[in-house]
Amino acid sequence: MTNLIPVLIYLVLSLVITRWWSSRQADVGQLHQDKAKRFFIGGFFLNGPMLALTLVATYTSASSFIGGPGAAYQMGLGWVWLALIQVPVAILTLGVLGPKFLAMRSAEHTTLIEWLDSRYQHPWLSSLAIVSLVMGFIAMIAVQFIGGARLFSGVSGISYEIGLGLFVLTVLGYTLTGGFRAVVLTDVLQGGVMLAGLILLFGSILSQGTLPELMEKVTAYSPQMLSPHGVNDYLGWPMMLSFWVLICFGTMGLPHTLVRLLAVKDSRSLMRGMVWGTIICFLMTLLPHLCGVFGRALYPELTVPDEIMPRLISGLFHPFWAGVLLAAPIAAVMSSVDSMLLQSAVSLIRDGVMKQYPRLSATRQIKLTRVAMLLITVLATYWAIEPPEMIVWINLAAFGALQAVFLWPIIAGVFWKNISGNSAFGAMGAGLISYLVFQLNAPLVWKIHPIVPALTISLLVMLLIHALSPQANVKALDGES
């Protein structure tokens, strides 16, 4: 319990600092006049470094700090190689889609679904998008809760259930007390903390022996720990290429990262965000996964691979400093879950309830959003009570489902002026159904992740509907409404 004290102090301090920072930023930033919009999106305030840190911190989650190192602990350097495929995510998201979203900032869209609704004006598209987004986020939030609970229990020795309760209360404390701007500033602070913590942990691991000594111990488990294709050739080229789609190209369809494009300050911020985002993403991907591989040398007999990061922290540091270092992975988990919790609740109220009750006051919208956060938290907590041994697969499954629904409608909506709402809706439905069928019945046919055939089917359905539909006047997406 002693090592929980510093991390609890850190959490309280970061909460106070970010809320104070948020209030000062609110005095100088470009804010929306609508009170609800100020809560949901916060204005155009993201500069380059802030954009890079919040993008990577949101994208980097329990899967990256717990599940990813756990997989690297089991499969070796091949999983590190596979994880590094995601490094260009900032270039893709900010470089490809960023300028288009920046050009239409005058419309002051609050959520990604609001933008999709405005772009396609299809009666069912936003409903399907809301259901998909909320269900996918609940699964991903549950994964973050599992990761946070394992960190608390693994480092302090408290039970998993108490760790889960402690983490859930902390998350609620952060997300209920601030809107989008406060969440983003929390991400920025926590992004810096997690990077510093990773460097410290990695340096401590290397101090346990020379690199050849550590690698010799790793290969004692299996020489294939050094193979680019992993133990038992699990990570063959088909899987590598499909993971490039899943964790790199497909990330252009993730709502919780794209929503940050609605708050970018200017084009210079986009450019700086790409540079800093790529550097930070490289470090935050490489270091934790290498920690997982070297963890095999120091703790070779773990039965639950996901326990390697808590074990390294608690085993290599004095209990007090282990508590301090715990702030890094906790920051990684927190920065993802607060964004997803806020976005899912905002989508339910802003994109769902507001359509039925358009005269709902701003104050009532914010109150209902907080109630929605509580309900989503309860559902995710219930799912997290009995966790699997490795959370990485659940996270990747939810990751893929969101991409299967959103990727093509977003890309086509940005770059293809004549694409219609029917085509986008067809792509969404076909992507979701095919992904669920492949995921539930045969997750890795020929070692190809289900996201590849699902996105292929989604694209073909969109093209087919477009070809068969009479060409109508549709809204162009170039900033004009």
d(CA 19, CA 175): 11
Q: What are the backbone dihedrals phi and psi of residue 389, each rounded to the nearest 5 degrees, phi first?
A: -70, -40
Q: Helix 327-346 vs helix 180-206: angle between axes, to the nearest 10 degrees?
A: 150
At 203 the pLDDT is: 92
- Residues facing residue 46 across a β-bridge: 264
- Which of 143, 288, 126, 105 minimizes the C-alpha distance to 202? 288
Q: Where are the domains of the chain?
A: 43-468
Name every residue whose Cβ is closer than 8 Å to that of residue 188 and which is 6 or more positions away in sequence.
49, 50, 53, 54, 57
Mind listing the pLDDT tens digit of every residue in the chain (481 residues)?
666 777 788 788 877 887 777 676 655 555 555 666 667 766 677 888 888 887 877 777 666 777 788 889 988 999 998 888 888 888 888 888 888 888 887 777 878 888 898 899 888 898 899 999 999 889 888 888 888 888 778 777 788 888 889 888 888 887 877 777 777 777 788 778 888 888 999 999 999 988 889 989 998 888 888 888 888 777 788 888 888 888 888 888 888 788 888 888 888 888 998 999 899 889 988 999 999 999 999 998 888 888 888 889 888 888 777 777 777 777 777 777 877 888 888 888 888 888 888 888 888 888 898 899 899 999 999 988 887 766 667 777 888 899 999 999 999 999 988 899 999 999 999 999 999 998 887 656 667 888 899 999 999 999 999 998 876 555 544 444 3
For the chain, what is the radius of gyration of the CA atoms? 22
d(CA 99, CA 196): 31
- Which of 395, 455, 102 minimizes the C-alpha distance to 249? 455
d(CA 272, CA 135): 33
d(CA 141, CA 146): 9
d(CA 127, CA 125): 5
Three-state DSSP state, 88: coil
- Which of 172, 164, 169 minimizes the C-alpha distance to 143? 164
Neighbours of 447 (CB within 10 A): 15
Beta carbons of 304 and 389 less than 8 angstroms apart: yes
At 333 the pLDDT is: 77
If you write DSSP's letter for every residue of 369-386 in order, what string do you get? HHHHHHHHHHHHHHHHSS
- pTM equals 0.81
d(CA 93, CA 255): 11
d(CA 447, CA 238): 6
Beta carbons of 45 and 261 less than 8 angstroms apart: no
Write out the two tokens for 3.
Answer: 């090592």
Write out the two tokens for 256.
Answer: 């919780």
**CATH superfamily of the domain spanning 43-468:** Sodium/glucose cotransporter (1.20.1730.10)
CA angle 404, 58, 120 (to 5 degrees): 40
3-state secondary structure string across 94-155 = HHHHHHHHHHCHHHCCCCHHHHHHHHHCCCCHHHHHHHHHHHHHHHHHHHHHHHHHHHHHHH
Amino acid, res. 54: T
Three-state DSSP state, 308: helix
